[in-house]
A and B are shown apart, each in its own frame.
Chain A
Amino acid sequence: MNAAEELKQALPASVVSTGMQVEKPLVLVKKEDLLEVAAKVKEMGFDHLSVVTGVDYVDRFEVIYNFFSYGKKENLVLKVVLDHEAPEVGSLTSLWKGADWLERETYDLVGVRFTGHPNLTRILLPEGWKGHPLRKDYDMSVEQFVTIGEDGEDIVSTDGSNLLRRK
């Protein structure tokens, strides 16, 4: 019995389905119960949160968590499906501190909001950037420029006239 089925037995109400992602056990979780499931996952010994991925499937968002257990040397994949209009899911920062930046990055580039995150701001792009680049509907034709404000922080605008030499 792999970790996915174990999880399904422990929390049958929260787990939608189980499967395999190549060779890794995969669990599809209800988004409301993610925190509860994650706590259980950590209790099961999956102490390493490898990566948090957000994917835009046009009609929905998927957030995928890859776990690894140092003790049992096993993999586990959690997946939640979010609706496209208001993608929101609970934050795992309280369980894994490493989730902090990974979730911020997902918020920055994909635009998934993590409720309960202590500091959900943009991390790679400057604050004020319009749109989330990894969404499929991101408008690549709009050029955005960054300038430095009085306090040394970034200001984003579509007007590059005080940055560029040639207008």
Chain B
Amino acid sequence: MDPVTIDTTKFRPVRKKPETALEKLEDTGLISTVLAARERKGLIFLTTVDQVFNWARLSSLWPVTSGLACCAIEMMAVAMAHHDIARFGMEIFRASPRQADLMFVAGTVTKRMAPRVKQLYEMMPDPKWVISVGSCANTGGPYHESYAVLRGVDNIIPVDVYIPGCPPRPEAWLYGVLQLREKIKNEGYGAKWGLNK
């Protein structure tokens, strides 16, 4: 069929008018579509609470200060004036993992460092997220063949977002952070504790 002759008005999706309170809320765009769908299926019960907590969590992700290698310098660059991660409320780098929400695995995870990275992750309180930054943390990168390097940090801890690059540019870094924010937006309240999977 000739694409020009297609009557596009026929294909316009007809949107249901919002009726329930949930649908109205969804219509405003304030809450996540994914969560609303889950709510409708009876998968979760705490949508509004979810929304509030998720918004709070994605708005105040405090990273733990743990630079491993080259990428840590770019982590500093992201936090500095030019790129300013503080715009997302993320400038509070906590030195103690007990007060952090997010771990940037920024750099090569060597065999010797691996148990410490794992320990650091375990010390963080739930809910917690991990962003694996750079080729080394993702897969081993240029050091894939080395005897002393772990081939990917996801071998030891769960990773939420991978950022490629060696090291990733700060823009890529910020994009990764935005991806994580998207992910958190669609999480259930109990998702991190395995309640509603």
Q: Of B26-34, B77-85, B114-122, which binds chain A?
A: B114-122
Q: Does A138 contact B (CB under 8 A)?
A: yes
B111 touches A146 (CB 8 A): yes
Scan A95-139; emit 1 where CB is below 8 A from any B CB, else 0. 000000000000000000000000000000110000001000010
Q: Does A147 contact B (CB under 8 A)?
A: yes
| Distance to closest chain B CB from A40 (angstroms) | 38
Question: A interface, how many residues as a size bin?
Answer: 10 to 19
B111 touches A148 (CB 8 A): no
Complex: A166 Cα to B154 Cα, angstroms: 10
Complex: A24 Cα to B156 Cα, angstroms: 49
In the bound complex, residues from chain A placing their C-beta under 8 Å from that of B18 are none
A145 touches B111 (CB 8 A): yes
B111 contact from A138, A144, A166, Cβ within 8 A: A144
Q: Does A62 contact B (CB under 8 A)?
A: no
Complex: A82 Cα to B154 Cα, angstroms: 43
A165 touches B157 (CB 8 A): yes
A146 touches B114 (CB 8 A): yes
Complex: A144 Cα to B156 Cα, angstroms: 15
| Distance to closest chain B CB from A100 (angstroms) | 21
In the bound complex, residues from chain A placing their C-beta under 8 Å from that of B148 are 125, 133
Number of A-B contacts (CB under 8 A): 33
Complex: A60 Cα to B145 Cα, angstroms: 26
A146 touches B155 (CB 8 A): no
| Chain B residues numbered 83-119 whose CB sits less than 8 Å from any CB in chain A | 111-112, 114-116, 118-119
Q: Does A163 contact B (CB under 8 A)?
A: yes
B115 touches A125 (CB 8 A): no
B158 touches A165 (CB 8 A): yes
| Chain B residues numbered 106-142 whose CB sits less than 8 Å from any CB in chain A | 111-112, 114-116, 118-119
Residue on A nearest B113 in the bound complex, by CB: A146
Residue on A nearest B148 in the bound complex, by CB: A125
Given A125-B148, A133-B147, A140-B147, are A163 and B115 neighbors across the interface (CB < 8 Å)?
Answer: yes
Given A125-B148, A133-B147, A140-B147, are A146 and B156 neighbors across the interface (CB < 8 Å)?
Answer: no
Closest 9 CB pairs of A and B: A148-B115, A146-B112, A146-B111, A147-B115, A164-B155, A133-B147, A126-B112, A163-B156, A140-B147
Interface residues of B (CB under 8 A from A): 111-112, 114-116, 118-119, 145, 147-148, 154-158
Interface residues of A (CB under 8 A from B): 125-126, 133, 138, 140, 144-148, 154, 163-166
Extra 4 A-B pairs, beta carbons < 8 Å, given A163-B115, A165-B154:
A125-B112, A144-B147, A148-B116, A164-B155
7 A–B contacts from the bound complex (CB under 8 Å): A140-B145, A140-B147, A145-B111, A146-B112, A148-B115, A154-B112, A163-B118
